[in-house]
């Protein structure tokens, strides 16, 4: 499956990595092959970054999480079952790390906000108040409960199957499908009042 | 006309993708993060290389050490194998004595080696014949 893999030089993206190629890379990494590790970084940096960024909403934090996740994956690569797809295992590290950092940041922010007595939650009202369509869609996504949002991001945005997303989120595939169902209903409800988020809306084709 | 839920889901998916396409890292970010990751991974990769080398040596040693011991024993057997000295061959007193002890050199030659040729006859006559 092609997850829109990133390139090291920022130019053309490298070819998608098959499970066989991944297995070869991981076997070589187990013996300390730096070139193989670099290949793995090139292959999964973009998807790892996107996932971290979507959880955290902050580029610098996403970079830090990505770096930590790759190093953690390298340290625990012996625990990875060679022959299985690497991406769900790797993204689980990314997601756990990102959620942990976000929790820490949220606690810090809540402490600061409680001092100012401000309500930090965006809520549906804010969603409909957003001026631009993209902002409204992003806000609608952000307003979803954590697990539903993660399921949407992994399945709808990264193109994973429910089983793969379940592996990342440590949930059964059926639960992921149920989360997706709920998320879609909520997104439909929130976005229904306006139609400007639809493709071609401004051209009058919607 | 009301849209079917599946079509609406697809429209929402497209909207989500369009709204989230700014999540990709730019080229500069990729290069920077990549360099940081590879630099920090250096020590761990070196540790793994050393570990792998040690494991390979250990695996090799499992058969090379017994093989080397076996080869040494075989070599020692052939090199140190007692040989009957040829007639008229010059031997050191120590070799003559040892040869006498293990029975490949005549007893009088061994005794000569131990006590000297002058006393050899006396030694054989007095000491050995007493028993």
CB contact under 8 A, B5 and A41: no
b vs e for B61-84, b when ≥16 Cβ sit within 10 Å of the residue's Cβ?
eeeeeeeeeeeeeeeeeeeeeeee
CA distance B58 to A206: 70
Among A35, A37, A39, pick the best mutation site for testing chain B contact (most B Cβ within 10 A): A37
A69 DSSP β-pair partners: none
Q: Indicate whether A182 pLDDT > 70.
A: yes
Q: Return all residues near B16 (Cβ < 8 A) that are at least 6 apart.
A: A137, A141, A152, A156, A157, A187
Among B15, B31, B56, pick the best mutation site for testing chain A contact (most A Cβ within 10 A): B15
Decide which of B46 and B1 is more confident.
B46
Q: Please name the residue ranges forming H helices in chain B.
A: 5-20, 27-80, 93-102, 107-115, 117-123
User: pTM, whole model, 2 decimals?
Assistant: 0.67
CB contact under 8 A, B48 and A30: yes
Long-range contacts of the stretch A173-181 (C-beta < 8 A, 24+): A176/A151, A179/A147, A179/A148, A179/A151, A180/A148, A180/A151, A180/A152, A180/A155, A180/A156
Decide which of A119 and B36 is more confident.
B36
- Does the beta carbon of A15 lie under 8 angstroms from any beta carbon of chain B? no
What's the pLDDT tens digit per position in A96-155? 999 999 888 878 777 776 665 555 555 555 555 555 777 788 888 888 998 999 999 999
- Option in A34, A53, A152 nearest B16 (CB): A152
CA distance B104 to B119: 21
Reported as a pLDDT band with limits 50, 70 and 90, residue B95 is confident
Q: How far is A25 from chain B (nearest CA, A)?
A: 13
Q: How far is B57 from chain A (nearest CA, A)?
A: 13
Q: What is the mean pLDDT of chain B?
A: 78
- Does the beta carbon of A46 lie under 8 angstroms from any beta carbon of chain B? yes
* Contact between B97 and B114 (Cβ < 8 Å): yes
CA distance A66 to A59: 10
CA distance A67 to B35: 10
Contacts of A63 in chain B (CB under 8 A): 25, 29, 32-33, 36
DSSP string, B70-94: HHHHHHHHHHH---PPPTT----HH
Q: Which residue of B has its CA nearest to A75?
A: B44
Direct distance between the N- and C-terminal alpha carbons of chain B, in angstroms, rounded to an integer: 132
What's the pLDDT tens digit per position in A92-103? 999 999 999 988
Q: Which residue of B has its CA nearest to A60?
A: B29
Its ipTM equals 0.73
CB contact under 8 A, B12 and A199: no
Q: Indicate whether A66 pLDDT > 90.
A: yes
Q: How far is A29 from chain B (nearest CA, A)?
A: 8
- Does the beta carbon of A133 lie under 8 angstroms from any beta carbon of chain B? yes
CA distance B18 to B9: 14
Long-range contacts of the stretch A139-144 (C-beta < 8 A, 24+): A140/A186, A140/A187, A140/A190, A140/A191, A141/A187, A141/B16, A141/B19, A141/B20, A142/A57, A143/A186, A143/A190, A144/A183, A144/A186, A144/A187
- Does the beta carbon of A53 lie under 8 angstroms from any beta carbon of chain B? yes
Q: Which residue of A has its CA nearest to B17?
A: A157
């Amino acid at each position: 499956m092609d997850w829109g893999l990133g390139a090291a030089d920022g130019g053309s993206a490298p070819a998608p990595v098959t499970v066989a190629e991944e297995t070869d890379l991981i076997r070589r990494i187990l013996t300390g092959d730096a070139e193989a590790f670099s290949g793995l970084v090139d292959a999964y940096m973009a998807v790892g970054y996107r996932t971290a960024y979507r959880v955290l909403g902050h580029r610098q934090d996403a970079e830090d999480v990505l770096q930590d996740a790759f190093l953690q994956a390298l340290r625990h690569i012996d625990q990875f079952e060679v022959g299985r797809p690497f991406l769900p295992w790797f993204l689980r590290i990314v997601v756990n790390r990102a959620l942990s950092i976000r929790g820490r940041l949220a606690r810090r922010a809540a402490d600061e906000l409680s001092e100012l007595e401000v309500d930090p939650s965006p809520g549906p009202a804010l969603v409909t108040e957003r001026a631009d369509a993209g902002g409204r869609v992003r806000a609608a996504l952000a307003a979803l409960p954590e697990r539903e949002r993660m399921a949407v991001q992994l399945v709808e945005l990264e193109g994973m199957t429910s089983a793969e997303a379940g592996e990342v989120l440590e949930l059964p595939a059926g639960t992921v499908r149920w989360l997706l169902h709920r998320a879609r209903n909520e997104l439909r409800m929130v976005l229904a009042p306006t139609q400007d988020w639809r493709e071609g809306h401004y051209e009058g084709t919607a | 006309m009301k849209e079917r839920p599946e079509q609406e889901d697809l429209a929402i998916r497209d909207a989500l993708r369009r709204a989230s396409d700014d999540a990709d890292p730019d080229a500069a970010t990729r290069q920077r993060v990549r360099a940081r990751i590879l630099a920090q991974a250096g020590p761990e990769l070196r540790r793994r290389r050393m570990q792998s080398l040690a494991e390979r040596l250990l695996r090799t040693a499992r058969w090379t050490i017994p093989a080397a011991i076996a080869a040494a024993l075989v070599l020692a057997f052939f090199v140190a194998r007692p040989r009957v000295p040829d007639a008229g061959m010059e031997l050191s007193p120590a070799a003559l004595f040892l040869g006498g002890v293990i029975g490949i050199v005549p007893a009088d030659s061994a005794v000569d080696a131990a006590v000297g040729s002058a006393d050899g006859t006396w030694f054989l006559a007095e000491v050995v014949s007493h028993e």
